Each structure stands twice: as C-alpha cells, then as structure tokens.
Amino acid sequence: MNNRIIPVTLALNDREEQKKLERMIASSYMVRLADEDADEMGVLIYEPGDSVDEDFPHIIHALESGNAEDVFLAGDHADPDLLIRAMRSGIREFLQFPIEENDFRAAIMRTAMRGSLESDEHERGKIITVLGGKSGLGTTTTAVNLAWALNKRAPGRTLLLDLRRPSGEVPYFLDLKYEYNWGALTEDISRLDATYLHSVVAEHESGLNVLPGPTGGDKPDSQSMQLIMEQLRRIYDFVIVDTAYPDDEVLPREVEQADHILIVMQLSLPCIARSSRLMDSIRAQDPDAERRMQLIATRVPKDSTISISDASDVLSRDIPWTIGEDASSALSALNQGTPLLDAYPKSQAAKAIMDLADSLDHRKEEQKKSFRLPFASLFRRKKKGAVNDTLAGAAS
C-alpha cells in the first residue's frame, strides 16, 4: 500500500465524538484533517441527523464524482433502512459511538487498501494455495518445494505463507531461524503496509521469503487474513500458501482469494473419497473455484493398485500432476533442513515439482530483478519474545 496521507472530513453532530476523532487523526500517520476550503473531502465521516434525506443525495454525488474517496457513517445506532441505502450506494463503513481508535484505524486501513488495489490491479502477484483433505499427504513438502522452485528463478520474489494449524512445519523443512510470525501482523492490523510486513517476514538464505505461523495459534480473523494476503499479493510475484482445509463450512480466505487451488491427494480409496468431498465443499461455497482447482497425486508408487486414470474417472476430472514415491530422499532432505529440489534435484519427485512450477510461472523468460528493500535491516522491529531459535530446523 502506498504511503500517502489520507485527508478526513468530519461532519458530526456529537461534539465529543468530533473532538475524539480529531485527536485520533492528529496522532495517526495515515490521515490528516482536510482543509475546510479543499476541493476534495478525502474520507467523509458523516453522522446522519434530521437533515439526512436532504444531505444524502449530495453525499452520494460526492462519492460517485470522486470528490469523496470514501464515506463512513457514524452514530449511536445503525438504522437498517439507511444502511441498506448506503450499501447500495457504495458506502461500506459504519462507526459506532463511542468510536474506538482501533475501529477507526481499521476502517481507514480498508479504505487505503481498496484504493491501492484499484490503482495497480495489473501488478498483483499470484496466490497459490496448496491444501489436502488430511495430514500426511505431502502437502507441506509440495508447498515448500514449489515455493523454492519459483524463488530460484527470481530470488526474493516469492513468499511462503504457513497457515497450517495448530502449528506449521515450514521452518523445519528449511532449517529456518526466525523472530516473528504472522501473529505479529494481527496485533495491529491497521498498521499493515510494506515496511511493517517486511519487519515480520523471515528470509531464507536462498532469498525465499517466509511468513511462519504462531505455535498453537489460531488463524487471523477473515478480515485480517484478507488484508494480509492482498498486501502480500502486491509485493510478491507468488504467494505460496501451505494450509489444511478446516472442518467448518466457512471457505478460508486463502482458498477464496487463490488464483490456483492445488489439492494434494494420494491414490487410496479413503483419500480419493475425502478429496471428492473437499472439492464439493469448495464448489458449493465458491462456484468460480472450479476453474482454479487442480489435483496433484503425491507419493505415487510404481506398482499402485489404483492408477491415475482410475482415480481420475472416480473424481470426474483430470489429475494433471503426479509426484512419485521417494520417501527416503524426502525424509533425508527434511532431516537436513533442505528442500528436496536442492538436496536431490535429479530425483523423479524433484523433477515433477519443477514441471509444476514451470506450468504455474506466468512471468516472461526475462527474469525480474531480485527484490530487496535497501537497508531492510533498519526496519526490523526490536521486540522481545522472539520465537525460540532452537526449535527451528528440528526434524519431525
């Protein structure tokens, strides 16, 4: 997100809330009070009163004409009819009195994020979510090595996001030592920008950027997850997400926002049935996901009693990617804290993942320059309570 300061125009009847907002604005680096004679309102915070019917057409005109970048309604209570009218007109925010500073900052953050995304939609990177119906399928192995392969082509342009619960295992696969995890981003999501994000991201010696997950922690709420992933999409060419599909019926943001949904499976009847239910669940909640789902058969033995064509017939869809069984190499690489593609690049499994990376890499042959923030170390946050480095690299 860009670093511009957003002007805010206040139109409140409640004097105490007006003064409170003025103090919040004065203490924030993201906003400033709009000049009274300015041509643009920026964000208009409006408290409906007796003249709301007279005011509303002018407010909608200001929003549609671009004179107002966004409009927040505010008040003691939300009138349902007015909210419906506001939503139909493009007004997305309502601030409840007494206004909390975190609520105000989060609303401003959403406005800034929307404006930023609209201005550079063409520059967004790709989110590739790798998931399976259960643990033990090789999902993390696939995600880590896919990220490593894409990063090798342009170091620093790929990020690996660990969203497995209750705790992810990505750092073990990379012998990665890190200080922070994505939980730090959710502590104050309204601060989220490129600098704040890079103060949390860990960098592997290969140039691969990693955003580990907190140990035993829950995922961010849906809104925070959306903001985090959209910010990552703006910074990186690829965001590879290692996750597991939850048992509840709420479609996770990392699936909903993904450009590619890679479903890892194995050639066993229980796994095929589970994969079928998983795809049905995703389709039911997001019909558009059908075109974004692809199946990957992993750990496929040479003498499998169920063939790829058999599984494809049962699932009524192609299985375009097959990763052969290579347990000894995969386990050895894990114990070394090295990606399979680095430790055993000539193995059949490594070659299959390289082919997968080739098919997903939308970039031109001409490699982009390596992504680096000059003096990035200056932005590293000095904070106690870092992750215990002795855990990183342990084999499981």
Same domain, residue pair 38 and 155: no
Same domain, residue pair 102 and 182: no
Same domain, residue pair 142 and 18: no
**pLDDT number for residue 288:** 84
Beta strands 31-33 and 260-265, pairing class: unpaired
Same domain, residue pair 255 and 371: yes
Same domain, residue pair 104 and 195: no
* Residue 52, H or E segment: helix 52-65
Tokens of 241: 């997400």
Q: How far apart are CA 336 and CA 40, in angstroms?
A: 58
Same domain, residue pair 154 and 263: yes
Share of the chain above pLDDT 70, in %: 85
Question: Given the structure tokens 């922070």, which residue do they identify?
Answer: 180
Q: How far apart are CA 233 and CA 256, in angstroms?
A: 14
pLDDT at 247 > cutoff 70? no
Q: How far apart are CA 333 and CA 327, in angstroms?
A: 10
Classify residue 139: in a domain, yes or no. Answer: yes
Query: What's the pLDDT band for 9 if we cut at 50, 70, 90?
Result: very high
Range scoring the smallest mean pLDDT among 200-209, 276-285, 364-373 = 364-373
How does DSSP assign 141-185, residue by residue? HHHHHHHHHHHHHSTTSEEEEE--SS---HHHHHT---S--THHH
Say how many domains are in the chain: 2
Provide φ and ψ at 33, rounded to 5°: -70, 135
pLDDT digits (tens, 9 = 90+) for 330-355: 889 888 888 888 888 888 888 999 99
| Residue environment code for 278-298, b if the CB has 16+ CB neighbours within 10 A, otherwise e | bbebbeeebeebeebbbbbbb
Q: Which of 94, 119, 144 is the last residue of a domain?
A: 119
Same domain, residue pair 65 and 176: no
Average pLDDT, the chain: 82
pLDDT at 26 > cutoff 60? yes
pLDDT at 182 > cutoff 60? yes
pLDDT at 384 > cutoff 60? no
pTM: 0.65
For CA atoms 76, 81, 82, 83, give the dihedral sign: positive
CA-to-CA separations, 45 to 103, 108, 145, 292, in angstroms, rounded: 13, 11, 48, 39
pLDDT digits (tens, 9 = 90+) for 120-138: 544 678 999 999 877 778 8
Structural contact between residues 9 and 44, judged by C-beta atoms closer than 8 angstroms: yes
CATH label of the domain that carries residue 41: 3.40.50.2300
Q: Which one has a higher pLDDT value, 59 or 376?
A: 59
pLDDT digits (tens, 9 = 90+) for 73-122: 999 988 888 888 888 888 889 999 999 998 998 888 888 777 665 555 44
Same domain, residue pair 61 and 136: no
Q: Which of 89, 119, 149 is the last residue of a domain?
A: 119
Same domain, residue pair 114 and 256: no
Structural contact between residues 43 and 6, judged by C-beta atoms closer than 8 angstroms: yes
Residues 201-213 have a mean pLDDT of 91
Q: How far apart are CA 376 and CA 151, in angstroms?
A: 19
**pLDDT number for residue 88:** 82
Range scoring the smallest mean pLDDT among 166-170, 231-235, 303-307 = 166-170
Domain that holds residue 171: 123-379
